[in-house]
């Protein structure tokens, strides 16, 4: 496992960015961006079983791929920003858009985290647009994505 | 602060939170005390002898030159008493260098230098953007006690944050740390907590009924919640103390990139009584508040906003100065791999 060189010469594990699925946080975030940059049709293929509004699974992090996607984007964003966008200037619009989607959910309502919203809502379209723009702005190619994406594996604790 | 085994001649240290009014009132209280006059005001830019206490009070009230008053407010400064010896021709020059280039690495050397060269010294710097801290250093314990007593009576905004008597080792003081950890928020406290095999507790205040992305994670455990506390009757708020057991999640939710409002209100060690943490949110003084929590639970960290748009810095306090020392060492590790300047330890 990679580590960080410290002053006393001892390699210390970076507990804040342990590799997951063999990838570090910045690579995982890029994979998620690449997913978002694709079409809704492809996204549904990579993220199967998105629950409909009213489906009780829609409220569960481990059962709703859209909640998992939002969580994973937030979860790996610091590692991405530290590596590619330390001032967050490029990532800011996508983050704002993601937070706008987050705010649609409350303790009582799943908000935009359901299939109907995912396919039709402007907020999700904007998030896809921002993902494409971010990759383009930073001159990054889309990363390969396993199909289906094990999104629930990405939201398990790293330690 | 660099660790050293060298001892000091016994000194008393009084750390005081207060406005310029503190200085005015305190020095006025010393009026007539031979131990206090004459005095010299030192700033990075100038050496200003003050003939007597009336003049010091006049200066503190801003009734002398405007330029002088501006310097007084904006920079680190020290008011020093009589020299302990007539030697050291470059004494003032060296003393001013400490004020011009403050850093955690020379806090200890600064106190050592001033205690060796002056009968007493009063240092002033920003503790938070709203609060100014003062450190009175005296070889004479009677003088320190008199300062401590009178400072507390100076005005209602003044508070003694610590009175350390007969200090002979640098590690006997230095419970506060002011620091910047931009881009690495919370990491120092995480690592400190993990060294004791605990997980840090993080306190947030949210608008009622909101649910943030990470609050669904089973490994963000709510230790205690307080809804609509009576101390905040006009707003709907939800206070929650979380035990986070995942380093990456802790990093992601404390990271400044999540937005200023999401910076944790308080980080404390595992086992902290929730009521102690919740009470902190009703405090108006960050320095006194974090000191009180740290005294009760071992250590505490908070963030202080101000100074400019979206500016803030960290504030840490530990009951045991060795813990503060360790906190600064951890921060130093991060500094070497990134760029996290540590502002100071007192």
**Does residue B136 belong to any structural domain of this protein?**
yes
Residue B290 sits in the same domain as residue B269: yes
Could you report the per-residue pLDDT of B18-34, keeping only the tens digit for each? Answer: 665 556 555 655 555 55
| Residue B112: inside a domain | yes
Question: What per-residue confidence (pLDDT) applies to A106?
Answer: 80
Residues A98-116, mean pLDDT to the nearest whole number: 90
Does residue B6 fall inside a structural domain?
no
The answer to whether position B16 is within a domain reads: yes
Do residues B125 and B257 both lie within one domain?
no
User: Do B47 and B142 lie in a common domain?
Assistant: yes
Residue B134 sits in the same domain as residue B207: no
Say if B116 falls within a structural domain: yes
Q: What confidence score (pLDDT) does residue B41 get?
A: 79
Instruction: Decide if B142 contacts B136 (C-beta within 8 A).
Output: no
Q: Give yes or no: residues B18 and B152 share one domain.
A: yes
The residue among B136, B152, B173 that closes a domain is B173
CA–CA gap between residue A153 and residue A62 (Å, rounded): 9
Closest approach of A106 to chain B, Cα-based (Å): 5
Query: In this complex, which of B211, B250, B258 lies closest to A106 when CB atoms are compared?
Result: B211
Position A124 pLDDT exceeds 60: yes
- Asked if residue B2 belongs to a domain, the reply is no
Nearest by CB to B248, from A16, A70, A82: name it.
Answer: A16
Mean pLDDT throughout A93-109? 89
Give this prediction's pTM: 0.82
What are the residue boundaries of the structural domains of chain A, listed by start? 26-154
Q: Are residues B148 and B188 in the same domain?
A: no
The domain total for chain B is 2
The proportion of chain A whose per-residue pLDDT surpasses 90, expressed as a percent, equals 70
For position B136, what pLDDT does the model report? Answer: 87
Rounded to whole angstroms, the Cα distance separating B11 from B120 reads 9
Residue range(s) defining the domain that contains residue B194: 178-345
Q: B135 with B209, same domain?
A: no
User: At B66, is the pLDDT very low, low, confident or very high (cuts 50, 70, 90)?
Assistant: very low
Inside any domain, residue B1:
no
Q: Which of B173, B192, B221 is the last residue of a domain?
A: B173
Reported confidence tier of residue B235, pLDDT bands at 50, 70, 90: confident
Rg of chain A (C-alpha set)? 16
Do residues B17 and B166 both lie within one domain? yes
Is 80 exceeded by the pLDDT of residue B57? no
A18-48 pLDDT per residue, tens: 888 788 999 999 999 999 999 999 999 999 9
Do B185 and B70 share a structural domain?
no
Chain A residues whose beta carbon lies within 8 Å of the beta carbon of residue B216 = 60-61, 67, 71
How high is the pLDDT of residue B256? Answer: 73
- In tens, the pLDDT along B90-133 reads 888 888 888 777 665 567 788 888 888 898 888 877 666 666 77
**CA B137 to CA B163: how far, in whole Å?**
10
CB A57 within 8 A of CB A63: yes
- In this structure, the answer to whether residues B155 and B47 fall within a common structural domain is yes
Question: What is the model's pLDDT at position B231?
Answer: 74
Confidence of residue B64 (pLDDT cuts 50, 70, 90): very low
Last residue of one domain, picked from the residues B138, B173, B208: B173
- Across A61-70, A111-120, B54-63, B66-75, least confident range: B66-75
Do B150 and B253 fall within a single domain?
A: no
With residues binned 3-state (H G I as helix, E B as strand, rest as coil), the percentages for chain B, rounded to 5, are 40, 25, 35
Report residue B172 as tokens. 């006997």
Choosing among B190, B243, B252, B335, which should be mutated to test the A contact, i.e. which has the most A CBs within 10 A? B252
Same domain, B56 and B134: yes
């Amino acid at each position: 496992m990679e580590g960080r060189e410290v002053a006393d010469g001892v390699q210390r594990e970076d507990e804040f960015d342990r590799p997951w699925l063999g990838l570090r946080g910045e690579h995982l975030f890029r994979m998620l961006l690449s997913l978002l940059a694709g079409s809704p049709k492809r996204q549904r293929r990579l993220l199967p079983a998105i629950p409909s509004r009213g489906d009780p699974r829609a409220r569960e992090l481990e059962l709703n791929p859209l909640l998992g996607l939002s969580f994973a984007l937030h979860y790996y964003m610091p590692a991405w920003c530290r590596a590619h966008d330390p001032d967050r200037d490029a990532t800011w619009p996508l983050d704002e858009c993601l937070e706008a989607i987050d705010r649609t959910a409350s303790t009582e309502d799943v908000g935009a985290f359901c299939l109907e919203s995912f396919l039709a809502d402007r907020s999700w379209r904007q998030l896809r647009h921002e993902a494409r723009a971010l990759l383009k702005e930073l001159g990054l190619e889309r990363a390969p994505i396993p199909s289906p994406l094990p999104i629930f594996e990405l939201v398990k604790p790293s330690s | 602060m660099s660790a050293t085994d060298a001892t000091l001649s016994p000194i008393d240290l009084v750390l005081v939170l207060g406005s310029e009014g503190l200085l005015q009132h305190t020095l006025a209280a010393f009026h007539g005390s031979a131990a206090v006059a004459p005095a010299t005001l030192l700033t990075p830019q100038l050496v200003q002898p003050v003939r007597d206490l009336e003049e010091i009070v006049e200066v503190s009230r801003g009734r002398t030159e405007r330029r002088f008053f501006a310097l007084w407010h904006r920079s680190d400064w020290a008011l020093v008493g009589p020299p302990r010896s007539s030697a050291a021709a470059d004494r003032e020059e060296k003393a001013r260098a400490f004020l011009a280039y403050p850093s955690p690495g020379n806090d200890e050397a600064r106190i050592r230098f001033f205690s060796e060269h002056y009968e007493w010294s009063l240092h002033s710097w920003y503790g938070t953007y709203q609060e100014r801290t003062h450190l009175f250093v005296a070889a004479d314990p009677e003088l320190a006690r008199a300062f401590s007593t009178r400072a507390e009576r100076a005005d209602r905004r003044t508070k003694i944050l610590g009175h350390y008597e007969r200090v002979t080792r640098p590690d006997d003081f230095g419970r506060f740390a002011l620091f910047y950890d931009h881009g690495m928020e919370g990491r120092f406290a995480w690592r400190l907590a993990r060294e004791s095999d605990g997980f840090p507790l993080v306190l947030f205040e949210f608008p009622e009924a909101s649910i943030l992305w990470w609050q669904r994670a089973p490994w963000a455990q709510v230790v205690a919640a307080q809804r609509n506390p009576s101390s905040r009757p006009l707003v709907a708020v939800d206070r929650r103390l979380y035990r986070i057991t995942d380093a990456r999640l802790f990093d992601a939710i404390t990271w400044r990139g999540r937005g200023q409002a999401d910076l944790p209100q308080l980080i404390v060690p595992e086992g902290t009584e929730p009521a102690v943490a919740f009470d902190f949110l009703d405090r108006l003084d960050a320095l006194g508040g974090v000191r009180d929590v740290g005294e009760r639970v071992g250590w505490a960290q908070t963030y202080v906003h101000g100074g400019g748009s979206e500016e803030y810095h960290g504030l840490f306090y530990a009951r045991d100065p060795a813990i503060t020392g360790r906190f600064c060492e951890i921060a130093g590790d991060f500094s070497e791999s990134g760029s996290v300047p540590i502002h100071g330890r007192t």
